[in-house]
Structure 1
C-alpha cells in the first residue's frame, strides 16, 4: 500500500511489518472464503474436508477488522503534510486501477462459469465501476467490495482533518468526535449520522490513527486510553459480525473468545509496529508481497469460489484450495505489475493536472489588511501552533 514509509532520522524507511500484517490478513480472509464457507463445495459444512483448518477458517472474516486498523494507520501517515487534492489523487490512483482490473477478471470468470453466482445486469456492473454502489444499494459484483465503500467513508471523514490541517491536535479532535458519533448513532433515528459514524468498524480505523500518532510522536496515556477504549467498543459488535458471516445459528453456537483473541492479537501487533519493536523486519520481498495484497483481496472471492466449485470433484480438497490460492496470487501479481503500476501513474498524472487547473482558475481572495494589535510576542508565533518533532528519539 502506498505510504508504508515512516519518518525518522535519515531517509524514510519502509515499514515492512505492515506488509506482513496486510498479507496475513488477506490470506486469513481467503482461508475463510475457501475453507470456512461451504458454498463452493455444495456441502452443509466443510468440517470433514478440513478437520484441522475449518475451526480456524470460520474466524477468517476477522482479517477485515485487521485491515481497517492498518488503514487507519496508513491513511493518517500518508495524509500528513498533504492537501485534500493531493490526498484524493493518492487514494484514487491507488484504489481504482486494480479495482477495475478486478472487476474485469471477476466478470470474465462469472460469464464463463456461471455456476455459483451469475454476473447480474450490465447496469449493475457499470455502477460497480464507480465503487459507489454501496450508497446506491446496487449489488456488488463481488461481495468483498462492501469493505471498499466503508474505506471511502473513512477517507471522506479524514479529508476534513486534512482540510483543517493534519496535526496531532486535529487528529485527537477527530478521534473524539468520531468516537462520540459511533456511540450516539445506534440510539438515534438519524440515518446520515449512522451512515458516517460506521459504529461497527470505526473503532478499528480510530485505533489505527492512534497507533500512528504513537509512531510519529510518542506513546502517551491519552493515546493508550484511546486504543483501549476502541478495543472495548469493538467488543459490542463481534457477536453480530459472527452472525452476519456465519449465519445466526452457527454464529450463536460458536464461542466468541477466539474472535476476541484474534482482534487482541491484531491490536498488539499494531502496537508493536507503533512502538518500533518490529522495525528489524527488513525483508525486501515483503514490499512486493504487500503490493499484491489489494489485488488479491479484490479478485479472490467470487472467482476463487467459482473455480473451487468447478473443480471440486476433480482434485483433492487441500490441493484444490492450494492451487486456486496460488492462481489468485499469480493473477494478483499480474494485475499489480501490468495494470496497477502503469495505470496508477497515468491516472495520478491526469489528476494532478486537473487539480492544477482548479488552482489556476480559482481566483485568490485576499483579505483586507488588518491592524496588528500591540503585543510583545511576534504575530506569527501567536498564530501558529508549533508541535515538537518527537520522532527523533
Structure 2
C-alpha cells in the first residue's frame, strides 16, 4: 500500500431532503463549512509527502532514507497510513456531496473536481519524464491511457505513483452513483456500511474476480467508517451509527495490522502493528472531532484554502520532488534539499489550484451537467 490523497470534495452539506419514501429523520443543524476537516485533509497530504520523500526506501537520496534521516524516518515510515485517513474522509465528504443531489449533479461535480487538475498534472509530469532519466516511463500510449485515470484497469504504469488511489476513488464514486439511482436514505446508508465491507471480504476470500475488484475489500472499511461518521454529523448521535463506526474501526484495524509486515518490507525497518492499529482508532476520532465534535465549529478562510490545495499537492508531489532530490542530493545539506523538494511541490500545487482548478471547475461542471441533462433530439 503506497500512499496518496484523495480528491477533495465539497464540504458544504446539501440541504435538500432525503430521497426515499420514508419520513426523513430530523436533521441536526450544522455549519455550512468544515474548516477543520479541510485542515485535517491537508495534514494527511503532508504526512503522505513525508512518507514518499523520507519514509519509504527510494534511490533518489543516494542512500537509504533511514541513513539520511535516521530520526525523522521513525515517524515518516508510518506516513502511508495517510491513505487510510484520506479514504475515511472521502467516505464522509463524498456521501455529504451526494446527499440530496441527483446523479447528473453528482457526476458533473466529481468530473469537474477531479479531471482538470489531473490532466494538467499528467501532462507536465510526462514532460518532466521526457527529460529526466530517473522518472517513470509510460511511453506515448501509456501517457494517453493515464489521461483517462483508468490506467490501473489496463495494467498501465501511472505517471505518478500516488495515482493508484484515484482508481479506488473512482470505484467508490461508482458505488455512490448506483446508490443515488436507488435513493440515499439514512436506513440504506446504515445497511451499506455494515454489509459492504463484509460482502467485499467474502468476494476477496472466494477469489470472486470482478466482484472483488469492484468492492475493494482492503479499503472498504475506511470508506464505510467515513460514511457512518457522516450520519452522526448529519443526524446526531445514535447507537446504530456509532455501532457502525465501531464495526468498521475493528475491520480497519485488522486491515492495517495485517499490512504492517508488507510495510516493513517497503520501508526496510520495523512497522509496528500496534501503532498502525492505534492510528486507525485515532483517525476515526479525529474525523468525528472535526465534524460532529467540538472542532466542527472552527471556521477560517485559510483552512479552506489548505483543503483546496490538498488534491493538487497529492497529484504533483512525487515525481517533481524526486527530481529535485535526485538533482541536488549530495551537493547541499539533506534538509535544505528536502525543503526545496517540498517547496517545489507546494508551488506547483498552488499553480494547479489557482490557474487550473479555479478557472475550469465551473465551466467543466456546467458543460458535463448540460450534456447529462440534455433531452434526446427527435429522430435520434
User: TM-score surpassing 0.5?
Assistant: yes
Which secondary structure state, in structure 2, belongs to the residue aligned with residue 30 of structure 1? helix
Aligned partners of 1:238, 1:54: CA distance in 2, in Å? 19
Alignment of 1:1-393 (within 5 A): 1-6=8-13, 13-39=32-58, 40-43=60-63, 45-115=64-134, 117-247=135-265, 250=268, 253-357=270-374, 359=375, 361=377
Q: Per-residue deviation at 1:166?
A: 1.5
- Say whether the 8 Å CA contact 1:164–1:170 is kept in structure 2: no
- Say whether the 8 Å CA contact 2:85–2:283 is kept in structure 1: yes
Residues 1:246 and 1:96: Cα distance change in structure 2 (over 3 Å): farther
1:226-269 Cα shifts (integer Å, max 9, x gaps): 11111111222224533444426946x43222222222211110
Which secondary structure state, in structure 1, belongs to the residue aligned with residue 66 of structure 2? coil
Aligned partners of 1:293, 1:118: CA distance in 2, in Å? 23
1:177-202 Cα shifts (integer Å, max 9, x gaps): 31221231222131122112211101
1:144-194 Cα shifts (integer Å, max 9, x gaps): 111000001011011111111121112122223312212312221311221
The normalised TM-score by structure 2 is 0.89
Which secondary structure state, in structure 1, belongs to the residue aligned with residue 225 of structure 2? helix
- Say whether the 8 Å CA contact 2:324–2:337 is kept in structure 1: no
* CA RMSD, Structure 1 to Structure 2 (Å): 2.1
Aligned partners of 1:123, 1:204: CA distance in 2, in Å? 34
Structure 2, unmatched stretches of 5+, are: 1-7, 16-26
The normalised TM-score by structure 1 is 0.86
Structure 1, unmatched stretches of 5+, are: 364-393
1:290-311 Cα shifts (integer Å, max 9, x gaps): 1110000011112211221111
Q: Per-residue deviation at 1:27?
A: 0.2
Aligned partners of 2:350, 2:69: CA distance in 1, in Å? 28
Q: Per-residue deviation at 1:134?
A: 1.2
Shifted more, 220-229 versus 236-245: the winner is 236-245
Q: Per-residue deviation at 1:34?
A: 0.7
- Say whether the 8 Å CA contact 2:56–2:267 is kept in structure 1: no
Q: Per-residue deviation at 1:13?
A: 2.0
Residues 1:114 and 1:243: Cα distance change in structure 2 (over 3 Å): farther
Give the corresponding residue for 2:3.
none
